[in-house]
């Protein structure tokens, strides 16, 4: 229920904010060319632009629920058709980034907390570097090293076919996940170190339980709860942050579509992509709640 309320409120903000944005739908539809009053009236009637705000919003939301986001001002075809070929690219990119963030972030953080000495220090230094490098700069560095110099990965494009797409999206996913891996690693390290200082862990160790068992059952399981919550927020951010990487690598994803639509005042596409991003946030939040409830039975779901 809370998710539905969030989506409804977000839909009002998304739809209403475009009325405050510079430019107008008529300007976008006519590519900035002056039109006479009759043509303007025809365009307003066709795209339902002369109706009151509430009427326009209800009409838009009613169609959006059925998957109809209207017609693109630029492409002159349905927004759903414009978005459809780009969804797979963004989905694969975000999935690869999520796996990197969860696996590499949690693993590096746990190792840094449990393995003191040069290994832990090296991981901490690497995390500090990862947190300090912006995504766009990381993209350019990866392109310069692994594409231009070493020729290991392609520079631009999304590829064709699943295997080829994964190959093309490897560098973009690393660039997008770099800062998030460092953040989750740092958070995991702090969470594991905090659990190691807990009284029940000290008691279990004093009773002679094997260290591996204590780490698995009493440290890592409890430390995973706050890290899982943070990972959900980070993964939700990746959906929006993908726009930077998709632009840098010339990928045909939803992020690059959003950037180009903003530049061209393609309001229906902007509304659709923004609403999809909100839905992704809500779904990811629900999945995180379910996982946390499985990790800790004391957490209950409504």
Tell me what pLDDT residue 262 has: 81
CA torsion angle 289 293 295 299 (round to 10): 110
Percentage of residues in the chain with pLDDT exceeding 70?
83
The answer on pLDDT for 290 being more than 60 is yes
Residue 77: phi and psi, rounded to 5, are: -140, 170
- Is the pLDDT reported for residue 47 higher than 70? no
Residue 98 token pair: 């999520």
pLDDT value for 300: 54
The pLDDT confidence band at residue 203, using thresholds 50, 70 and 90, is confident
Residue 70 CA to residue 87 CA, distance in Å, equals 17
Encode the chain in three state secondary structure.
CHHHHHHHHHHHHHHHHHHHCCCCHHHHHCCCCCCCHHHHHHHHHHCCCCCCHHHHHHHHHHHHHCCCCCECCCCCCEHHHHHHHHHHHHHHHHHHHHHHHHHHHHHHHHHHHHCCCHHHHHHHHHHHHHHHCCHHHHHHHHHHHHHHHCCCCCCCCCCCCHHHHHHHCHHHHHHHHHHHHHHHHHHHHHHHHHHHCCHHHHHHHHCCCCHHHHHHHHHHHHHHHHHHHHHHHHHHHHHHHHHHHHHHCCCCCHHHHHHHHHHCCCHHHHHHHHHHHHHHHHHHHHHHHHHHHHHCCCCCCC
Q: Which pLDDT does position 298 carry in this prediction?
A: 57
Check residue 245 and give its pLDDT: 84
Residue 28 binned pLDDT confidence (cut-offs 50, 70, 90)? low
pLDDT at 105: 87
At 57 the pLDDT is 83
Distance of CA 16 to the CA centre of its chain: 23
pLDDT higher than 80, residue 276: yes
Alpha carbon 150 to its chain's center = 29
CA distance 158 to 247: 12
pLDDT tens for each residue of 51-94: 777 877 888 888 888 888 888 877 778 888 888 888 888 888 88
- Enumerate the CATH 1.10.3720.10 domain ranges in the chain, comma separated: 84-295
The per-residue pLDDT for 32 is: 60
Structure confidence by residue, pLDDT tens digits, 207-232: 766 776 777 777 777 777 788 888 88
pLDDT by residue (tens digit) across 98-146? Answer: 888 888 888 888 888 877 778 878 888 888 888 787 887 888 888 888 8
Domain at 84-295, CATH class = mainly alpha
Asked if the model's pLDDT at residue 30 lies above 80, the reply is no
Token couple for 101: 């963030």
Tell me the average pLDDT across 136-163: 79
pLDDT for the residue numbered 52: 75
Average pLDDT taken over every residue of the chain: 79
């Amino acid at each position: 229920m809370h998710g539905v309320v969030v989506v409804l409120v977000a839909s009002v903000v998304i739809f209403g904010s475009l009325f405050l944005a510079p430019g107008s739908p008529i300007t976008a539809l006519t590519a900035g060319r002056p039109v006479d009053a009759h043509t303007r009236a025809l365009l307003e009637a066709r795209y339902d632009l002369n109706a009151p705000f509430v009427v326009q919003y209800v009409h838009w939301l009613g169609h959006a629920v059925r998957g109809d986001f209207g017609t693109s001002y630029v492409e002159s075809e349905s927004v759903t058709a414009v978005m459809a070929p780009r969804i797979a690219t963004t989905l694969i990119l975000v999935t690869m980034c999520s796996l990197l963030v969860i696996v590499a972030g949690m693993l590096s953080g746990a190792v840094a907390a449990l393995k003191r000495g040069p290994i832990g220090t090296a991981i901490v230094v690497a995390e500090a570097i990862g947190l300090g490098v912006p995504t766009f700069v990381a993209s350019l560095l990866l392109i310069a090293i692994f594409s231009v110099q070493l020729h290991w990965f392609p520079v631009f494009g999304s590829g064709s076919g699943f295997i080829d797409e994964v190959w093309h999206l490897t560098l973009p996913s690393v660039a997008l996940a770099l800062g998030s891996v460092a953040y989750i690693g740092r958070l995991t390290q702090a969470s594991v170190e905090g659990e190691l200082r807990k009284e029940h862990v000290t008691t279990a160790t004093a009773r002679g339980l094997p260290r591996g068992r204590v780490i698995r059952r009493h440290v890592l399981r409890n430390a995973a709860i706050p890290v899982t919550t943070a990972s959900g927020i980070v993964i939700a951010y990746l959906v929006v942050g993908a726009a930077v990487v998709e632009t840098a690598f010339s990928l045909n994803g939803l992020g690059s579509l959003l950037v180009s639509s903003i530049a061209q005042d393609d309001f229906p596409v902007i509304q659709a992509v923004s609403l999809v991003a909100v839905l992704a946030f809500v779904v990811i939040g629900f999945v995180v709640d379910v996982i946390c409830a499985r990790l800790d039975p004391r957490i209950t779901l409504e």
